[in-house]
Chains A and B, each alone.
Chain A
Amino acid sequence: MTIDSESNERHPIEILADEFSLRLRKGEHPTIEEYALKHPEFAELIRSIFPSIALVERVAINEDQQRKSNPNLPETPTLNRVPDSLGDYQILREIGRGGMGIVYEAVQRSLNRRVALKVINSLVSGNSQHRARFRREAEAAASLHHTNIVPIYGIGEDQDLQYYAMQLIDGVTLQDVVDCLQNDFVDFKKPTSSETANQVDSSSLSSNIVRTKLPFNTTHAARLMLKSSWTLPNVENEPSGIPGAKSSNSRAATADVATVARSELAETLTNPHLANEIEEVSLANPTNKWTEKSKHAQLTREYFRNVAKTIANVANAIDYAHHQNLLHRDIKPANLLLDREGTIWITDFGLARRTDLDAATQTGEILGTLRYMAPEQIAGHGDSRVDIYSLGLTLFEMLTLRPAIESPKLRLLDPERNSVIPTLRSINPNIPHDLQTITLKACAYAPEHRYQNACEMEADLRRFLEDRPILARQTSRLEMLMRWARRNPAIATLASVAIGMLLVIASLLAVWNRQQQRSLFEIGKQYNRAELNLKEKSEALESVRKEQMRAEMNLELAIKAFDKIMDNIASRGSTFASSSDLGEDEIFELNGASLSQADVALLESLLNFFDQFSEQNDKDLRVETATAMQRVGDIQHKIGNVDQAEKSYLKALNSFQTLYKQSPQQSSALLSQMAIYNELIVLNAKRGQIPKTFGLYQDARRLLEQSPKIASSADGRFALAKLLNSIGTLGARFGREPRMRVGGPLGKAGAFGDSIQLAQAAKLKRESELNAESLSLLNTLVNESPENTSYKIVLARALKDEVRIAKLLNDMQRADEAMMRSVEILEGLCASHPESSATKYELANTLGTNVGMRTIDMQRAERSLSICEEILTDHPYVPEYLALKASVLVKLSATTQFTTGRSQKAEELLLEAIRVQRDLANRYPDIAGYTLSLGQSLVQLSELEMTLKKPAKAKETIDQAIQMIESLQRQSKGEVILKQMIERLRERKTLIESRQPKKP
């Protein structure tokens, strides 16, 4: 369409598209780039719209051609007539047909020999130009002489039909073999028709009877490939070093075909391995519909070796032809014939029509071939490396029994995306690693990444066969990841998920000090948004190269992002043992509580991600995987899924142990184990399994001491200090039955008698010693590196624990001193890091610690509360801060009630605390700790209500509490404490009921 006067009314691109379509219809091959370059202002739109126009136009042209060639049967283009004879050849029967033409079995009268005669579809041979070219190419092909290339006897033209004659091969195509292995396992159960079986039987009875040739069918060929002792006849090509193969074979190839065939059959029948396979299959699948797995199971190591041998021979032949300057251009399983001796034959050498698409499209044949075409060949150019690519895809299909490329037609539209090749071992893990490497190298997207000639490929296949190291480089890790990302768009999306995360985390780090506690779930939501943005953007700018670069970048970033994510989780999730303690009556640690089940899901997806990496890369990502596993445990622990948490921890521990054994110099694997032991100790304490915790403690300590170098390092000592601190404070935190509030008229704790008191005292003493050791280690560490904030914070926490221990030991002076020191350290930290909410939080936490048995220092508590308010002004929704505030309020309430008896005031404070706690429990239903705290506050409230003479309300409140704890117990398995707690609550309820004034 020319640009005429009305052009201003039409969309400019539509005008161009019109011209583009018309040119395609005329048989020209305009390229999209040419339009894009000519009209740079519309380049983007042209690049996005023209490919689909080209595709539709090609389809329409194809349809037209088919309609014209046969209007009644538009879907099967055929030759209209089948002559009885052509030139010197008398046609006997049709053997097969393809897009290029029909193959007949024929007799060459002058020589009285049987030949295969291929008659070219008139659509292909259409015009004189095509005919001349065909003749030239056939002549070139006829000059090839190679063991594995079907020789061409002659070419001719008769009755307006072009044809060529070639040697008749008694064989089947590899395509048939693949299809057979893919679909027809049933055939192997009864390996042949009954007559064949009879023949085998009779021949085994009288082994020397020479029989007529068995018909060689696909099943035979498939069995040949599965066979263990089969070697290829043309051992000349094989490097020396395979003794025996030579002598037995060349003779077998010619001498007694029947014997060979028979022994094959017998062997297959008697092969116990194969027989087992069959049995399994038939057992598992009574309907004979067998699974992908069983299909793969039949592929023995020998099958893979046979495939490698076969393809090596093909490569040898291709290399020979390439040296004669002849490309095949259409290597595919359907063009490779396997004969009964196991010789592989390449047919149609050099006879594939030129690589321009239109001619191929016209015949409809392109679609059979498009699947195996190299990307550059689709684009209309390419050198000898296109044959390497196609051979690679053929190898792929032989190994995996499925085509490498699923949607060949879409390759026209978007060659790169639709040329993505999956890894072979992801389809069948039994495929040898080296064969995968060879295959993937042969069909690398870029020609320069492939084998540069067929000889190299052959050599590598032979190396594989001889168990020598192949030359194909294990692509470097990064390179591998990049290419892998290209091959696995779905997983690469996951990597781009990680890049989204990284963006968020980067911004997160910028405000790190101000906003330390942040839910990974929140991050997840943000990365979703970022990912969406990225996607939209990239779709708008859709260009193959950009896409690719992004994938490559993403993988690098994914690893970095992983580290950041782990830091983030670690900062929130791995400080159970030594983190802040909200008071002696609290059972659970509450900080970092914003982790949730969603975080577990996110992390597990990361784990999958790394598993995928590891599959390709045996070693490199194990540290990451183990760490991720540890964090999954952390989160599960946090949200009260104790059993799952223990499983995750044990898995992570196991991985780190292995890593550590392999490289004992690496302190990180050891330190990670220490951290996990710490978590396991707390976890088991929660379950009430105190003896087990001491076992764990001893294991951990022994482990550390086995490596004196690490033990004496600062990190080692720090790890030990943390361990001591957790084990030392366990008794106080988990060892007793939970001490419910005993203040008020209901609390009479003395009922348990003196023995418990004594046991308590012994425990306390031990705890005191352990914590003292921890304190001394920490003191030294702080002295050694006064700049280290972590040491100081952990020291401050240990001192806070010391406050509680000393208090229980009635050593008030020691308690006071510890408190002073803890406050002093934290005040110092707050002064040097005035912007840090985290330090302020620690300070408020210490200040909020009880000093008396049930009382709190009112002044300190007020200060603690005001710090809480201060940090909450900056971060109003951080759950830890809210939890601390509520906890201090609860203590203030108790203290007010206990010291002043102002129940009204106490109730006010408590109700305020409960309001906050209820909010938290609602927001984070996953986290047991919040609900538990709320339950405890409710118990306290019910007592207060009794004091305030509101028994009905008190009963209501305690019912609420019981309900709450019961539902918590249903959710979280393994928390022994909850059970004990419910029992106590029930007792309390009975008590309340008994005190309830009878109705007058």
Chain B
Amino acid sequence: MFSECLGEVRQSRSDRRAGENQGVLELRAWYNSVMDDSSPFNYPEPNGPDERALLRAGGADALADLLQQYQAPLERIVHFRISPVLRSRIDPTDVLQEAYFEISRRIQEYIDGVPVSFFVWIRQKTVQTLIDMQRNHLREKRDANREVLLALPSHGQTSSLSIAKLLLDDMTSPSQAAVRVEEIQELQSALESMNETDREVLAMRHFEHLNNQQVAEALGLSPTAASNRYIRAAAKLGEILKSLSSRHGSP
């Protein structure tokens, strides 16, 4: 059970960045050392046996119903995750279509016992699909879009860029547009200085509207660790914004 879970995490994150697997293991080691938990590998039983049962019994119709149910949150996630560079070229609906296809193809894997809740599983499939699509999109037009390819941030940075942009969006008047670009970059690099997992926790909680349990599952953390990380990340964000505010807010 655990190894499957780890495998899933690995797969979903394998494309994010080289060495990420190592990162998961490190996280686990960190968890071991930090958490006061006698059995660190004892991940909670994912809740969602009902969905699994539903799928087992209902087949394709059940899946369609469930996907329909989760469409809004998935849309939100795609919207947030999509690279700003490609926002004009990739339609979020296409991403969902593609993801649904992938999900229905592999639904048996889930039914057979991927140990996370259904939503977290389809979220991961969707994000993975988005990443693949973005990559393909750029690969196809590599020659024409070389600079775009170079400009495409790695996945982890996408969330920080998105957060930075959103935080500072329309905060300044047009005459300060140049300042704004700088501020975005500044905030982004500050966000990038955060632990990546922490930042992901923050993004998932507030922009994807995942709850703690879901975040824990998605990142292969215990709920306690996810919870602690969230607080740590929020505090860090507060510091970042404070330091920005003292730099830009004072004359």
Q: A residues bordering B, Cβ < 8 Å?
A: 1, 6, 9-11, 13-15, 17-18, 21, 25, 45, 48-49, 51-53, 55-57, 59-60, 62-64, 67, 71, 74-75, 179, 182-183, 364, 367-368, 403, 405-410, 413-414, 417-418, 420, 422, 426, 487-490
**Contact of A67 with B79 at beta-carbon distance under 8 Å, contacts A11-B228, A49-B231, A410-B245 already known:** yes
| B173 lies within 8 A of chain A by Cβ | yes
In the complex, residue of chain A having the shortest beta-carbon distance to the beta carbon of B207: A60
Find out whether the CB atom of A60 lies under 8 angstroms from the CB atom of B175.
Answer: no
Rounded to whole angstroms, the CA-CA distance of A362 and B228 in the bound complex is 31
B29 within 8 A of A: no
Q: Which of A13, A55, A71, A414 is within 8 Å of B231, CB to CB?
A: A13
Query: CA separation between A242 and B59, bound complex, in Å?
Result: 89
Is B69 interfacial (CB 8 A cutoff)?
no
Query: Which of B169, B205, B224 interacts with A59 by CB under 8 Å?
Result: B169
The count of A-to-B residue pairs whose CB atoms sit within 8 angstroms is 128
B246 within 8 A of A: yes
Q: What is the CB-to-nearest-CB distance from A227 to chain B, in angstroms, rounded to a whole number?
A: 24
Contacts of A15 in B (CB 8 A): 227
Tell me whether B249 and A407 are in contact (CB under 8 A). Answer: yes
Say how far A17's CB is from chain B's closest CB, in angstroms: 7
Q: Is the CB of A9 within 8 A of B166?
A: no
Report whether A422 and B245 are in contact in the complex, using a CB–CB cutoff of 8 Å. Answer: no
Chain A residues with Cβ under 8 A from B175's Cβ?
Answer: 179, 182-183
| CB within 8 Å of A: which B171-227 residues | 171-173, 175, 202, 205-207, 209, 211-212, 222-224, 227
Residues of B participating in the A interface, judged by any CB pair closer than 8 Å: 44, 76, 79-80, 92, 163, 166-173, 175, 202, 205-207, 209, 211-212, 222-224, 227-228, 230-231, 234-235, 237-238, 241-242, 244-246, 248-251
A407 adjacent to B245 (CB under 8 Å): yes
A417 with B212: CB separation less than 8 A: no
Bound CA span A403–B209, Å? 36
Given A11-B228, A422-B251, A59-B238 contact (CB < 8 Å) = no
Task: Tell me whether A406 and B207 are in contact (CB under 8 A).
Answer: no
- Known A11-B230, A409-B171; contact A52-B237, beta-carbon cutoff 8 A: yes
Residue of B nearest to A74 (CB): B79
What is the CA–CA distance of A15 and B92 in the complex, to the nearest angstrom? 32
Is the beta-carbon distance between B244 and A410 smaller than 8 angstroms? yes
B163, B168, B173, B228 — most chain A CB neighbours (10 Å): B173
Chain B neighbourhood of A407, CB < 8 A: 171-172, 244-245, 248-249
- The answer on a CB contact under 8 Å between A51 and B238 is yes
The reply to whether B248 and A410 form a contact with Cβ atoms under 8 Å apart is yes
| Top 3 A-B pairs, shortest CB-CB distance | A422-B251, A409-B171, A410-B245
Most B CB within 10 A of own CB, among A51, A75, A368, A409:
A409
CA distance A51 to B246 in the complex (A): 15
Contact present for B206 and A57 (CB under 8 Å): yes
Q: A11-B231, A60-B207 are in contact. Are A413 and B76 (CB under 8 A)?
A: no
Contacts A414-B242, A489-B250; A56 near B202 (Cβ below 8 A): yes
24 A-B interface contacts by CB (under 8 A)? A1-B211, A9-B224, A14-B212, A14-B230, A17-B231, A17-B234, A18-B211, A18-B212, A25-B209, A49-B231, A60-B166, A62-B166, A64-B76, A75-B169, A406-B248, A406-B249, A407-B172, A407-B248, A409-B168, A410-B171, A410-B249, A420-B249, A488-B251, A489-B250
User: How far is it, in angstroms, between the C-alpha of A706 and the C-alpha of B175 when the chains are bound?
Assistant: 62
Name the one of B171, B202, B245 contacting A367, with C-beta atoms under 8 angstroms: B171
The reply to whether B230 and A9 contact each other, CB–CB distance below 8 Å, is no
Alpha-carbon distance A490/B249, docked complex (angstroms):
11
Separation of A1 and B207 alpha carbons in the complex (Å): 17
Given contacts A59-B167, A422-B251, A490-B250, contact A10 B245 (CB under 8 A): no
Contact in complex: A417, B246 (CB < 8 Å): yes
Question: Are A413's CB and B245's CB within 8 A?
Answer: yes
Contact B231 A420 (CB under 8 A): no
A537 and B230 alpha carbons, distance in the complex (Å): 24
Q: Are B248 and A17 in contact (CB under 8 A)?
A: no
- Flag if B241 contacts A52 (CB, 8 Å): yes
Query: At the interface, is chain A mostly helix, strand, loop or mixed?
Result: helix
Q: Are A48 and B249 in contact (CB under 8 A)?
A: no
A21 and B170 contact, CB distance less than 8 A: no
Closest to A419 in B: B249
Chain A, Cβ-Cβ closest to B87: A74
* Chain B residue contacts of A13, Cβ below 8 A: 231
B242 A413 Cβ-Cβ under 8 A: yes
Asked if A14 contacts B227 (CB within 8 A), the reply is yes
A71 to B237, CA, bound (A): 28
Nearest A residue to B88, CB-CB: A72
With A and B bound together, what is the CA distance between A271 and B50 in angstroms?
Answer: 84
Chain A min CB distance to B136 (Å): 22
Contacts of A59 in B (CB 8 A): 166-167, 169
Q: Are B251 and A420 in contact (CB under 8 A)?
A: yes
Q: Is the CB of A417 within 8 A of B228?
A: no
A56 to B223, CA, bound (A): 22
Residues on the A chain within 8 Å of B222, using CB: 9
Contact of A14 among B44, B76, B167, B228 (CB under 8 A): B228
For A14, A15, A49, A63, which residue has the most chain B Cβ atoms within 10 angstroms? A14
Chain B residues with CB below 8 A from A71, complex form: 92
Q: What is the chain B residue whose CB lies nearest that of A366?
A: B170
- The answer for the CA separation of A405 and B248 in the assembled complex, in Å, is 10
- The answer to whether B238 and A48 have CB atoms under 8 Å apart is yes
Chain A residues in 8 Å Cβ range of B245: 407, 410, 413-414, 417-418
A1 CA to B210 CA in the complex, in Å? 12
Cβ B206 vs Cβ A21 within 8 A:
yes
Measured between alpha carbons, how far is A420 from B237 in the docked complex, in Å? 22
Q: Is the CB of B223 within 8 A of A6?
A: yes
On chain A, the residues within 8 Å of B212 by CB distance are 1, 10, 14, 18
A residues within 8 A CB of B248?
406-407, 410
CA distance A64 to B207 in the complex (A): 9
Q: Are B206 and A60 in contact (CB under 8 A)?
A: yes
Task: List, in ascending order, chain A residues with CB within 8 A of B206's CB.
Answer: 21, 53, 56-57, 60
Give Cα distance in the complex from A488 to B207, angstroms: 36
Q: Are A52 and B238 in contact (CB under 8 A)?
A: yes
Contact yes or no, B235 A48, CB < 8 A: yes
Residue of B nearest to A403 (CB): B173
Checking B163, B234, B249 against A49 with a beta-carbon cut-off of 8 angstroms, the contacting residue is B234
Contact B234 A63 (CB under 8 A): no
Inter-subunit contact B224/A417 (CB<8 Å): no
Contact of B205 among A21, A182, A410, A489 (CB under 8 A): A21
Are A364 and B242 interface neighbours, CB within 8 A?
no
Q: Choose from B209, B223, B228, B241 the contact partner of A410 (Cβ within 8 Å).
A: B241
Contact B249 A10 (CB under 8 A): no
Distance between A652 CB and nearest chain B CB, rounded to angstroms: 30
Given A9-B222, A57-B206, A403-B173 in contact, is the A52-B227 Cβ separation under 8 Å?
no
Contacts of A367 in B (CB 8 A): 170-171
Hey, which chain B residues are within 8 Å of A489, CB to CB?
Answer: 246, 250
Given contacts A56-B206, A417-B250, contact A49 B238 (CB under 8 A): yes
Can you name 11 extra interface pairs (CB under 8 A) apart from A410-B241, A413-B241, A418-B245? A6-B44, A9-B224, A18-B205, A45-B231, A60-B206, A63-B80, A63-B169, A64-B76, A407-B248, A407-B249, A417-B249
